[in-house]
């Protein structure tokens, strides 16, 4: 596609429910990132996928959070037993090259998650 | 990532004036820097980048200045327009790591 796409754009859920957020990166981009952005705050790194390598999960805040990337393309971020503090905008980004290079990350529009 | 609290620094300018947005980065080994613009309800959008072997780079109406001595980055927007209203934040890249600043909210008054 022309850019990174994410779905759904908005998700409202009840506390304790599981949610799945989807990211379609730019075709050909080997690197994929998930970030969380709480109101008025900067981007918080969650997880990084690079090609077929094991993902860097060091940013996941708890074991309720998990992500996978199938076929080196689409990624799904899953939050189990959601809590109110999980409410945030979840952003996905992709880039051609690996993290730490000069290659720019291109961001999707984000999924706004609200946990009631 | 960094967290600086619930309230972003804000900058309010008159339409047509120049804007300067500042960013203090943390890692002296960072060698690549990006400015992003994030409009309300949208994902961050790349504006301009600069490598550490440069101290200035110009784009269309935007200029990025890098001062490695004091680890400071600035974004200058010339003739600010209402469409420039957004949150602007910097990113520093180096040592296989990327960090984002919390951002500055720019409001342009007509």
Q: For residues A107 and B44, give the distance between their C-alpha atoms in angstroms, rounded to a whole number.
A: 6
Q: Do A100 and B94 touch (CB under 8 A)?
A: yes
* pLDDT tens for each residue of B27-86: 888 999 999 999 988 889 999 999 999 999 999 999 999 999 999 999 999 999 999 999
Shortest Cα distance from A16 to chain B (angstroms)?
25
**Pair B99, B4: CB distance under 8 Å:** no
Contact B98 A100 (CB under 8 A): yes
The position carrying tokens 């952005």 is A37
Q: Over the range B56-80, which residues count as b (16 or more CB within 10 Å of their CB) and which as e?
A: eeeeeebbbbbeeeeeebbbbbeeb
How many Cα neighbours within 13 Å face the side chain of A55? 23
Highest mean pLDDT among A63-72, A102-111, B11-20, B36-45: B11-20
Which residue reads 């730019």 in tokens?
A26
pLDDT at residue B1 is higher than 60: no
For the segment A52-94, what is each residue's pLDDT rounded down to a tens digit?
Answer: 888 999 899 999 999 999 887 999 999 999 999 999 999 999 9
| CA A90 – CA B35 distance, rounded (Å) | 20
Contacts of B89 in chain A (CB under 8 A): 42-43
Q: What is the pLDDT of residue A100?
A: 66
């Amino acid at each position: 596609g022309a850019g990174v796409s994410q779905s759904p754009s908005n998700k409202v859920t009840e506390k304790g429910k599981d949610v799945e957020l989807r990211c379609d990166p730019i075709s050909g981009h080997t690197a994929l990132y998930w970030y969380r952005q709480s109101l008025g705050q900067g981007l918080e790194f969650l997880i990084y996928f690079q090609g077929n390598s094991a993902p860097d999960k060091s940013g996941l805040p708890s074991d309720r959070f998990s992500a996978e990337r199938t076929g080196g393309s689409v990624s799904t971020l899953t939050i189990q037993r959601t809590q109110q503090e999980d409410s945030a905008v979840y952003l996905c980004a992709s880039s051609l090259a690996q993290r730490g290079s000069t290659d720019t990350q291109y961001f999707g529009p984000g999924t706004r998650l609200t946990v009631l | 990532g960094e967290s600086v609290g619930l309230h972003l620094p804000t900058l309010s300018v008159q339409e047509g004036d120049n804007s300067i947005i500042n960013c203090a980065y943390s890692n002296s080994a960072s060698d690549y820097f990006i400015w992003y613009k994030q409009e309300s309800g949208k994902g961050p959008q790349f504006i301009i980048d600069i490598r550490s072997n440069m101290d200035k780079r110009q784009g269309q109406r935007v200029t990025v200045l890098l001062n490695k001595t004091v680890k400071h980055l600035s974004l200058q927007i010339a003739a600010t327009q209402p469409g420039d209203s957004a949150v602007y934040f910097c990113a520093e890249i180096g040592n296989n790591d990327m960090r984002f600043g919390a951002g500055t909210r720019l409001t342009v008054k007509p």
